[in-house]
Amino acid sequence: MIPRFCSPVAEGFRFTVCATDGRARTGVFETPRGPIRTPAFMPVGTAATVKAMKPQDVAASGADVLLANTYHLMLRPGAERVARLGGLHRFMGWSRPILTDSGGFQVMSLGDLVTVDEDGVEFRSHLDGTRHFLSPERAIAIQRRLGADILMVLDECPRHPITHDAARQSMERSMRWAARCRDAFLADPGGAALFGIQQGALFEDLRRESADRLVELGFAGYAIGGLAVGEGQQAMFEVLDYAPQQLPPDKPRYLMGVGKPADLVGAVLRGVDMFDCVLPTRSGRTAQAWTAHGPLNLRNARFAEDPSPLEEDCPCPVCQHFTRAYLHHLARAGEILGAMLLTEHNLWHYQRLMAGLRDAIAEGRAAAFARDRLARLEAGDR
Amino acid sequence: MIPRFCSPVAEGFRFTVCATDGRARTGVFETPRGPIRTPAFMPVGTAATVKAMKPQDVAASGADVLLANTYHLMLRPGAERVARLGGLHRFMGWSRPILTDSGGFQVMSLGDLVTVDEDGVEFRSHLDGTRHFLSPERAIAIQRRLGADILMVLDECPRHPITHDAARQSMERSMRWAARCRDAFLADPGGAALFGIQQGALFEDLRRESADRLVELGFAGYAIGGLAVGEGQQAMFEVLDYAPQQLPPDKPRYLMGVGKPADLVGAVLRGVDMFDCVLPTRSGRTAQAWTAHGPLNLRNARFAEDPSPLEEDCPCPVCQHFTRAYLHHLARAGEILGAMLLTEHNLWHYQRLMAGLRDAIAEGRAAAFARDRLARLEAGDR
């Protein structure tokens, strides 16, 4: 089902699918701040910084867009302050597109500090205990003040496992919130785009209904929410066997919070276009390096005198200049440079994976590419 | 007094004084790994990394040489391991000269964990409690294995205050150790250079005697040790009013562990050529930025919405791209990027100060340059 009107939610944004291979697609999501090549991986810049990375080095890794967290930024330094300082792009020195989440996911994982009702979410700051309120309207207003290019609707992301009844009630509230977000957004879109978020847990009928209601509203892109919350890869892939197909083929599909390289490969084959995940950056700060053969723990003694680069044939600046032995030393000594270099390599690794997928889809060899990648991952680290 | 022979301690090393202005000198200390423009500031790369900096960014700041700590490296990853991995330069990705200290200063500040006698220093590792021994011969052997370009003799750096008697005894032991270091070094200099270290605390006669004994032995350069140990700037400058003149004019003079910008300016005017200090890097990790008007504490609330760069007219990459407001945010949020950017600015600030001193000396306006810098520092932060 295709949106019945070209709504102003997407002025300056245009998604073009350049090639398909099975259900996998490769294309370009054009934005006023530059193109996003899809499939795309968005590094996470939680507090207006991709941790341990300079923005120009994030760009050099091949990232066309990054994600920033509304929850963290609304508390510190505050959306008003970011607005007064010229918006997120200027504040953090990143000129390419930025996608902000709605803040809902992180607020609702605060546990005892949260109460949710139809109007929105009340919570206490994890920083200083102050009370805050996030409604659909306020989530949009904050993201607009931050100056995001792509905004996300406020939704409820239920925990796993959940009954069909509870999943329906939660999904229906998310759809009512999506409508309120859209109305609030359309009152002043300011050159940004708004994405809806499909919910419905692991239930195909609820996912179908959620997709239809979102498409009825009309968004510039559609996220698949409520996955990667503990259901496991197999259950997630079962949902991805149908969920992307329930969403319009002419708009980008964004799987939130995913994931490991094998998750990305499997989701791209099933028709997903965009991803975000803290894994490559967080791993970099815990001495893990991602390679085609899976993660390496650089603290491991076997790397103490290993003169090879982190990953063979990797063109990243880290693999060009430093050895596993040096990175082992930095990890053991708790040096900041270790976190910097491992994060940089991991971001390059993720972006190279996405580039490989884009090329493979364009050349009609996505399945073979995926088989090869998964075989190497299963063979394990080297 | 000039060394009576051109000893092999300095093959491939040549110091040329290009201009003098009063007692201040500017020149070039040529080494097999490239020239060191003097006056020179050496960033400290304790554990084979200038903390929170990529080596190419250290080079871009204008550093011609850096210092690495023998004590830290002998314990982790170990000098033998560094040697097997091709030496410090290859290990850490730094192709310009490296100076290593002897390890003695840090060992002797371990307190209860140390016993010193004529043969050397026995100590326990602060990392794992294992026993280690550092003699003059072993200090040289370790520095050679690390692959340093400039080695330092093992010396005893007495605490402040100290009596004349105790200072004499300590200085005399340091001079006996200096002779043993020189003999050990000359057995296999391997393209490196060895510096002697003048001791004698705050006593002019002991400094004189120490200088004469070192010059008798003959070194490629001479350090002034035993200062910046709590005596204060005035007492230090009183020593620097005579100590540099006791050392040969045709060899570089290196004031160890100094210091703040005002210390550097005062020491250069008194004839010092080389410095090292953790201050710019350590400050960067504690939210301090150095400017011509002194240090700024970026955690201070007054920077929360300050859209100006850290330092006006600073050409460094940080001042070109980021505001005080953003650096305040990073400091408050405890972000690694804050440490990275403040360290980078601070290293640029120090290197620009040295470049300013070099130019001022060459142009015969060192005193005016110093007056202007000190006046701005006294005027305080902005």
User: Which amino acid would we find at residue A94?
Assistant: W
Domain boundary residue among B255, B277, B299?
Answer: B277
In a mutational test of the A interface, the residue from B51, B58, B146, B326 whose CB has the highest number of chain A CBs within 10 Å is: B326
Residue A234 in 3-state DSSP? helix
Domain boundary among B219, B253, B277: B277
Confidence of residue A4 (pLDDT cuts 50, 70, 90): very low
- B257 and B343 co-located in one domain: no
For residue A293, what are the CA distances in angstroms to A306, B87, B197? 17, 29, 51
Q: Which of B251, B277, B303 is the last residue of a domain?
A: B277
Interface test with B, best of A44, A53, A54, A81 (most B CBs within 10 A): A54
Q: What share of chain B is helix, strand, coil (3-state, %, to 5)?
A: 45, 20, 35
Residues A313 and A197 in one domain: no
Q: Is residue B18 part of a domain?
A: no
Check whether residue A266 and residue A313 sit in a common domain: no
User: Which residue is closest to B75 within chain A, CA to CA?
Assistant: A333
A1 has pLDDT over 80: no
Task: Give the minimum alpha-carbon distance from A375 to chain B in angstroms, rounded to a whole number.
Answer: 32
Does B212 lie in the same domain as B72? yes
Compare CB distances from A304 to B81, B93, B321 and report the shortest one's residue.
B81
Active site residues of B: 101, 276
> Is position A3 within any domain?
no
CB contact under 8 A, B54 and A340: yes
Distances (CA, A) of B127 to A279, A303, B82, B113: 30, 20, 18, 12
**Contact across the interface for B305 and A85, Cβ inside 8 Å:** yes
- Residue A6, pLDDT score: 42
Interface test with A, best of B44, B51, B85 (most A CBs within 10 A): B85
Are B52 and A340 within 8 A, CB to CB? yes
pLDDT, one tens digit per residue, over A211-232 is 999 999 999 999 999 999 999 9
Residue B157 within a domain: yes
CB distance B336–A335 less than 8 Å?
A: no
Task: List Cβ neighbours of A235 (8 Å cut-off, separation of 6 or more).
Answer: A202
- CA torsion, ordered B261, B263, B269, B270, to nearest 10 deg: -160
Residue of A nearest to B50 (CA): A337
Q: Classify A258 as helix, strand or coil.
A: coil
**Residue A266 falls inside a structural domain:** yes
Contact B326 A53 (CB under 8 A): no
The answer on A251 and A334 residing in a single domain is no
Residue-wise DSSP of A331-375: HHTT-HHHHHHHHHHHHHHHHHHHHHHHHHHHTT-HHHHHHHHHH
CA distance A87 to A93: 10
In chain B, residues with a C-beta closer than 8 Å to the C-beta of A76 are 329, 332-333
Q: What is d(CA A49, CA A170) in angstroms, rounded to the nearest whole number?
A: 32
Domain around B301: 284-379
A1, part of any domain: no
| Per-residue pLDDT at B113 | 84
pLDDT at A9 over 70: no
- Interface residues of B toward A, Cβ cutoff 8 Å, are 47-49, 51-55, 76-77, 81, 84-86, 91-93, 285, 304-305, 307, 321-323, 325-326, 329-330, 332-333, 335-337, 339-341
What is the pLDDT averaged over residues A44-60? Answer: 98
Query: Which residues, 6 or more positions from B165, have their beta carbon under 8 angstroms from its beta carbon?
Result: none
pLDDT of A115 over the 80 cut: yes
Residues of A in contact with B305 (CB under 8 A): 81, 84-85
Q: Does the complex come out with an ipTM higher than 0.90? A: yes
Position A110 scores a pLDDT of 86
CB-based contacts of B117, cutoff 8 Å, min separation 6: none
% of chain A beyond a pLDDT of 70: 97
- Same-domain pairing of B58 and B165: yes
Contacting residues of A for B51, CB less than 8 Å apart: 335-337
Long-range contacts from A351-356, C-beta under 8 angstroms, 24+ separation: A351/A41, A351/A61, A351/A62, A351/A63, A352/A62, A352/A314, A352/A315, A353/A41, A353/A261, A353/A264, A353/A265, A354/A37, A354/A39, A354/A40, A354/A41, A354/A62, A354/A264, A355/A37, A355/A62
H-run or E-run covering A266: helix A261-269
The answer to whether residues B194 and B315 belong to one domain is no
Question: What local confidence, expressed as pLDDT, does residue B13 receive?
Answer: 97
- Per-residue pLDDT, B350: 98
The answer to pTM > 0.95 is: yes
From chain B, the residues in CB contact with A78 under 8 A are none
- Cβ separation B47–A84 shorter than 8 A: no
Which among A48, A332, A341 has the least Cβ separation from residue B329?
Answer: A48
Same domain, B332 and B292: yes
Going across the sheet that includes B14-21, the strands are: B14-21, B24-31, B34-38
> pLDDT-derived band of residue A197, with 50, 70 and 90 as boundaries?
very high
A53, A77, A285 member nearest B329 (Cβ): A77
What is the count of residue pairs from A and B with beta carbons less than 8 Å apart?
Answer: 98
- Condensed to tens digits (0 to 9), the pLDDT of residues B165-213 reads 999 999 999 999 999 999 999 999 999 999 999 999 999 999 999 999 9
Encoded amino acid at A68, one letter = A
Q: Is residue B308 a part of any domain in this protein?
A: yes
- Contact state of A54 with B337 under an 8 Å Cβ cutoff: yes
**Mean per-residue pLDDT, A7-26:** 88
Residue A8's pLDDT is what?
43
Which residues of chain B register pLDDT less than 70?
Answer: 1-9, 381-382
**Phi and psi (nearest 5°) for B172?**
-65, -40
Residue A327 has pLDDT above 60, yes or no: yes
Query: pLDDT digits over A127-169, tens only?
Result: 999 999 999 999 999 999 999 999 999 999 999 999 999 999 9
- What's the CATH number where B182 sits? 3.20.20.105
Helix (H, G, I), strand (E, B) or coil at A232: coil
| Gap between the Cα atoms of A52 and A25, Å rounded | 32
Domain count along chain A: 2
Of the listed A64, A101, A263, A273, which one is catalytic? A101
A158: preceding bond cis by omega (within 30 degrees): no
Question: Does a structural domain hold residue B148?
Answer: yes
Cβ-contact B326, A89 below 8 angstroms? no
Domain annotation covers residue B204: yes
Q: Tell me, what's the pLDDT at A82?
A: 98
A7-16, A32-41, A138-147: which range is least confident on average?
A7-16
Whether residue A296 contacts residue A381, with contact meaning beta carbons closer than 8 Å, is answered with yes
Instruction: Please provide residue A288's backbone torsions phi and psi, each rounded to the nearest 5 degrees.
Output: -105, 135
Same domain, A147 and A201: yes
Identified catalytic residue from A21, A149, A263, A276: A276
Query: Which of A299, A302, A336 to substitute to test the interface with B, most B CBs within 10 Å?
Result: A336
Q: Are the C-beta atoms of A39 and A273 separated by less than 8 Å?
A: yes
Which of A55, A305, A335 comes nearest B49 by C-beta? A335
Query: In terms of domains, do B349 and B221 share one?
Result: no
Residues B141 and B271 reside in one and the same domain: yes
| Co-location of A195 and A329 in the same domain | no
